[in-house]
A and B are shown apart, each in its own frame.
Chain A
Amino acid sequence: MLVLKHISRQFGGLMALQNVAMHIPAGQIVGLIGPNGAGKTTLINCMTGLDHPTAGEIEFGGTPIQKKPAHRIAALGMARTYQNIRLFGEMTVLENLVVAQHGLGKANLIDSLVQTPRHRRENERLRENALQLLKRFHLEQNATVLAGNLPYGDQRRLEMARALATNPKLILLDEPTAGMNPVETAELGEQILRMKAEGKTLMVVEHDMSLIAQVCDEIYVLNFGQIIAHGTHQEIKNNPVVVEAYLGQEEGE
């Protein structure tokens, strides 16, 4: 589904990503872990077109996307959530999900000005989709609340719903459990597995190893902008290089 070849991203003298190679197979959940500052968010930004790699290639479903702008990549079927929640705070919960489906609509300004049947049908359809997503994420009683006024856990869920609203093939979740309690984390894990069961491909960037263990088929470990390990949860857990990256080197005795 998504293949990264020799991806590097340089900010001046800083190599944020160095020769990263990854493969996210269709229908699987891939985990990406790494200490703070390892380059995880930079990597996601390069995948989604908010940033572009200085070298290397990214193929999404066979199409090279490393130079495409974000809205084109979204149209190809990629969606994401954000580490620090970034909802449209001045819009209601429902409006957030309607505007999220922008790419699925076709109505232009003229359609809206003369209220063509296309405009009306489309508005109706987008609203219907949005309401279904609200139900799925247990947000229906908050449909008319401004997104900025939602409690934290609901905001997280709304972000996930918004990512799903574009009907994507691949969803990138950037630290979805940040600030959640264990019960909410477990519930989130269920939602992620449900998306997989529906045929979506996912990448989860996380610190919470319990979620990674619960949902991921395979895991990549990033440190100082390089992939230092790749394997199943068991393999990663016992890999001395990974343990060292997280806990530091053991003092020689």
Chain B
Amino acid sequence: MGFVSDALASIGLNEFVITLMFVNAILAMSIYLTLYGGMFSLANAGFMAIGSYVSVILTQSHDWPFLPAILAGMVAAGLIAIPIGLPVLRLRDIYLAIATIGFVEITRIMILNLDKIIAEAYTRLHMESEPPKITNGPLGITGIPVETKLEYLVVTVIILSYFMIRMHRSRFGRALAAIRQDENVAASQGINVVYYKNAAFILGAMMAGLGGGFSGHLSRIIQPGSYGFGTAVDILAYSVLGGISSWYGPILGGLALTALPEVLRPLKEYTGLINGVVLLIFIAYLPGGLGDPALWRSVRKTVGRIINFINKGKTADAGA
């Protein structure tokens, strides 16, 4: 084990980076769920923020243990997804994307100004006591001890993978796939489209909230600025690079996209440039993403051929 981690660290993947890779894999899985139901929702950055803030506030200000706090953040994100999903999921495609980006920005600004709003309310209501500081505005919450461990994340990813595999073969998953392919036909076959869309949206929100809780207890500091448009696009990029034709695609995408800039770090000022070029090449030549089953079939075939070729060479050597 020590040998492996040393080797990984030598290419820039120290334990912190690997932990972050798995956090982002969870976030990628969260957006996969809505994409699987045909919903182009970018709301997950907002749910990540909610999960992150709720769990960090619980552990830091209310002395909750790590695990219950993380789960509370997950539930909070799921609860907030209910009133958001009902109106917003009537929209489709790019309109849904725009509306959910709106939600992400509203969440960020709410977190940014929450303390100010509370203080304002206190003066209006002539309350004597000092208004509490909850989110601490733009400065964010600092000095959070690192409690997220790689083991927790690996276990979580395994549990979520099991969930995805089962989901695909369930009545629930089949209904989502039908809705993605033709919403009206799905409804005419007796599928309650509104119910399934909202259920997938809420489950996705809970996964994002969980990912947020882990990330909040990894980065030592959380600020509203970390959960804006850029994060929403990053999460989308994980699932696009990984591909959504298989459940493991987004995991690969989340892992790879987080690792890439770290691996490229020795290139110094060219890191960002090469990172972008690699992404472009992937999207242009692998539209099915890293998790495209067709890609893996062809890889297996090629490897098989190479092994065959080597074996033949050996027998030829032995014969000679």
Contacts and interface: CB of A to CB of B under 8 A. Distances in A.
Interface of A: 48-50, 69-71, 74-75, 79-80, 82, 86, 88-91, 95, 98-100, 102-103, 105, 107-109, 111-113, 115, 119, 122-123, 162, 165-166
User: Top 3 closest A-B pairs, CB basis?
Assistant: A103-B190, A112-B170, A70-B187
Given A102-B174, A109-B172, A50 B184 contact: yes
A123 B174 CA distance: 11
Interface of B: 162-163, 166-167, 169-175, 177-178, 181-182, 184-194, 199
A165 B185 CA distance: 13
A49 B172 CA distance: 22
A71 B178 contact: no
Given A82-B185, A88-B178, A88-B182, A107 B190 contact: no
Interface SS of chain A: helix
Contact of A109 (B167, B181, B189): B167
Nearest to A106: B171
A107 B192 contact: no
A71 B184 contact: no
Contacts of A50: 184, 187-188
Contacts of B175: 99, 102
A144 to B, nearest CB: 15
Contacts of B189: 74, 79, 99-100, 102-103, 162, 165-166
A75 B187 CA distance: 10
Contacts of A105: 171
B191 A102 contact: yes
A71 B192 contact: yes
Contacts of B178: 88, 91, 99, 102
A116 B99 CA distance: 38
B48 to A, nearest CB: 23
A86 B172 contact: no
A166 to B, nearest CB: 6
19 contacts: A50-B184, A50-B187, A71-B187, A74-B189, A79-B188, A80-B188, A88-B182, A89-B181, A90-B177, A90-B181, A95-B174, A99-B174, A99-B175, A102-B190, A103-B191, A109-B199, A112-B167, A113-B162, A122-B171
Interface SS of chain B: helix
B166 A113 contact: yes
A177 B177 CA distance: 28
B190 A74 contact: yes
Given A70-B184, A80-B188, A99 B170 contact: no
* Residue of B163, B166, B173, B188 with highest tally of chain A CB at under 10 A: B188
A108 B171 contact: yes
A90 B174 CA distance: 12
B144 to A, nearest CB: 33
A119 B171 CA distance: 9
A88 B193 CA distance: 15
Nearest to B180: A90
A98 B166 CA distance: 16
A80 B185 CA distance: 9
A107 B173 CA distance: 11
B81 to A, nearest CB: 16
Given A48-B188, A74-B188, A166-B190, A112 B169 contact: yes
Nearest to A69: B187
A105 B173 CA distance: 13
Contacts of B194: 69
Given A105-B171, A112-B167, A99 B187 contact: no
Contact of B193 (A71, A100, A108): A71
Contacts of A74: 187-190
B158 to A, nearest CB: 14
A165 B189 CA distance: 9
Contacts of B162: 113
Given A49-B188, A123-B169, 10 more contacts: A50-B184, A74-B188, A90-B181, A91-B178, A91-B181, A99-B191, A108-B171, A113-B162, A119-B171, A166-B190
Contacts of A165: 189
Nearest to A105: B171
A80 B184 CA distance: 11
A197 B178 CA distance: 31
A4 B173 CA distance: 36
